[in-house]
Amino acid sequence: MSKQSKNVLIVSTCSDPLSDLEFVHPVASLVGENGYHLSIFHHAKLDEDVIYRADKIIITGTALKDFEYLKNIDLFGWIKRVNIPILGICAGCQILGKIMGEDLGEKMLIGKKLVSCSSAVCRDLVQRVEFEAYFLSSRYVKVTTHFNILAVTEGIPSIIRHSNRPFLGCLFHPEVLNPQIILNFLEHY
């Protein structure tokens, strides 16, 4: 399947449309500039037809104090029913964790931080053992049973992968410093 025939669904978690400029548009630009067909929907406006037309799904992050996505977590119940590769970025990572049965912990991570890969999958995504990533997060997934930890930052999971579904989560924002993670997800995941 060529890039042009891959349909990428980008799901916004932003409660304020102005936040889309910071969290959704950079991801959409990267996807579109690399030859993928994309569609963008706010999580509250998704329907099953849109979801099932996607070959890949990216759930974006949102502003540091915007937790509307967690207050409306039931709107993401569709995640349990799909086997479509999903990349969750920051808030999207938290959503994947919550929907798949994990709890969230609290830790403020803002700015550039060192990420250490603990698996070959992580090294395949970034082609490095350690790298800097941009964080804007106050919550993280407490991995217990449903996910594998691929990388850590300051002792917490910063890249996770579901143990038997094609779901990948980055607690940081790869669109800022590590766009190859998004492109590698689209091409190889």
Give residue-wise pLDDT tens across range 124-173. 888 889 999 999 999 999 999 899 999 999 999 999 999 999 999 999 99
Give pLDDT, residue 5. 62
| pLDDT tens-digit readout, 21-53 | 999 999 999 999 999 999 999 999 999 999 999
- Token code pair at residue 46: 């998704």
* Block residue for tokens 């964790």: 97
CATH of domain 3-188: 3.40.50.880
Q: CA 30, CA 174: separation in Å to the nearest integer?
A: 11
Give pLDDT, residue 14. 94
Residue 122 has pLDDT above 90, yes or no: no
Q: What are the extents of the domains in the chain? A: 3-188
* Cα within 13 Å of Cα(135), Cβ side: 24
CA 145 and chain centroid, separation: 19
Helices then strands (H, E): number in the chain? 8, 9
Q: CA 165, CA 12: separation in Å to the nearest integer?
A: 21
- Token code pair at residue 83: 């086997």
Residue 44 sits at φ, ψ, to 5 deg, of: -80, -10
